[in-house]
Amino acid sequence: MFVAGLLAATLLIPLGRALLGRGSKRWRDTIVVTWSRIVCQILEVRITTSGHPDPDASLMVSNHVSWLDIIAIGSRIPCQFVSKEDVAHWPIVGIIAKGIGTLFIRRGDARQSSGVTETMAWLLKRGYRLAIFPEGTTSRGESVLRFHSKLFWPAELADVKVQALSLSYRNSAKSEAPFIDDDEFLPHLLRILSLPSIDLHLTYCDPIKAGLGYREISKKTREQILETLTPSLSLKAQPAELLQKRHTTFTQA
């Protein structure tokens, strides 16, 4: 199935763009969502949800635990992801990310990052839905790391509605799903395949109206996600070690 996903990502989606032009967006979204759902079935990813996705929300924001996050979100929401450029060179995941039209940010390159910001704003203004992981790194999923607020600037520029969602892996997946520290993809994939199932709860938070500044959007979405993961903790009561960076993956400002 991963081979099939690679073929879809590297051949069918670019071919569809070339043949259908602007109309290929819906075709691409259909392929990506369908492929993600099939992979979730093969990996026995069992997703439960709270709340509902807002059809008018153009920017989706999530905490980040694993490479599985992309497949899980992609199976539920047609969207285009934003990633740090390093991911493009990952085995398997990098090929798929490039094929589905992921926008890559080159860390430390202000000019290139500015160009990606403009592209994101342009896409948002034209009705595309984007998804970001503003922690810029994965964690064990027990809390929410610091957000890179500039990733929200395109939402301010495009004046669009934003919706946060939280991912919480449960049961045996709580310890095995996190892709952190020095984890490598293939060994981690084998561990995932050994699990009888992967239980994941996805919570859609209340959408945030358009018109807010990017720093305020960043603050509000982080608070929303944190509240769904640790409802009994105040924002000031987080252990300091949970705010340390883990394994850098998707999106970095």
Distance between CA atoms of 158 and 156, rounded to whole angstroms? 6
Its pTM stands at 0.84
Tell me the pLDDT tens digit for each residue of 106-150. 877 778 778 888 999 999 999 999 999 999 888 999 889 999 999
Domains of the chain: 2-243 (3.40.1130)
Distance between CA atoms of 143 and 128, rounded to whole angstroms? 29
Q: Is the CB of residue 130 less than 8 Å from the CB of residue 142? A: no
For residue 246, the model assigns a pLDDT of 46
For residue 213, the model assigns a pLDDT of 96
Give, in order, the Cα–Cα distances in Å from 231 to each of 53, 180, 201, 224: 21, 24, 15, 10
Q: List the chain pLDDT tens, one digit each, 253 residues.
A: 655 655 565 566 666 656 655 556 777 788 888 888 888 988 899 999 999 999 999 999 999 999 899 989 999 999 999 988 878 887 777 777 777 778 888 877 778 778 888 999 999 999 999 999 999 888 999 889 999 999 999 999 999 999 999 999 999 999 999 998 888 888 998 899 999 999 999 999 999 999 999 999 999 999 999 999 986 444 444 544 444 444 444 444 4
Give, in order, the Cα–Cα distances in Å from 139 to each of 40, 65, 142, 237, 252: 21, 5, 8, 18, 14
Other beta carbons within 10 Å of 239: 10
Other beta carbons within 10 Å of 184: 10
For residue 135, the model assigns a pLDDT of 92
Helix axes 13-20, 24-42, angle to 10 degrees: 160
Distance between CA atoms of 95 and 25, rounded to whole angstroms? 19
Q: Is the CB of residue 36 less than 8 Å from the CB of residue 74? A: yes
For residue 248, the model assigns a pLDDT of 45
For residue 186, the model assigns a pLDDT of 87
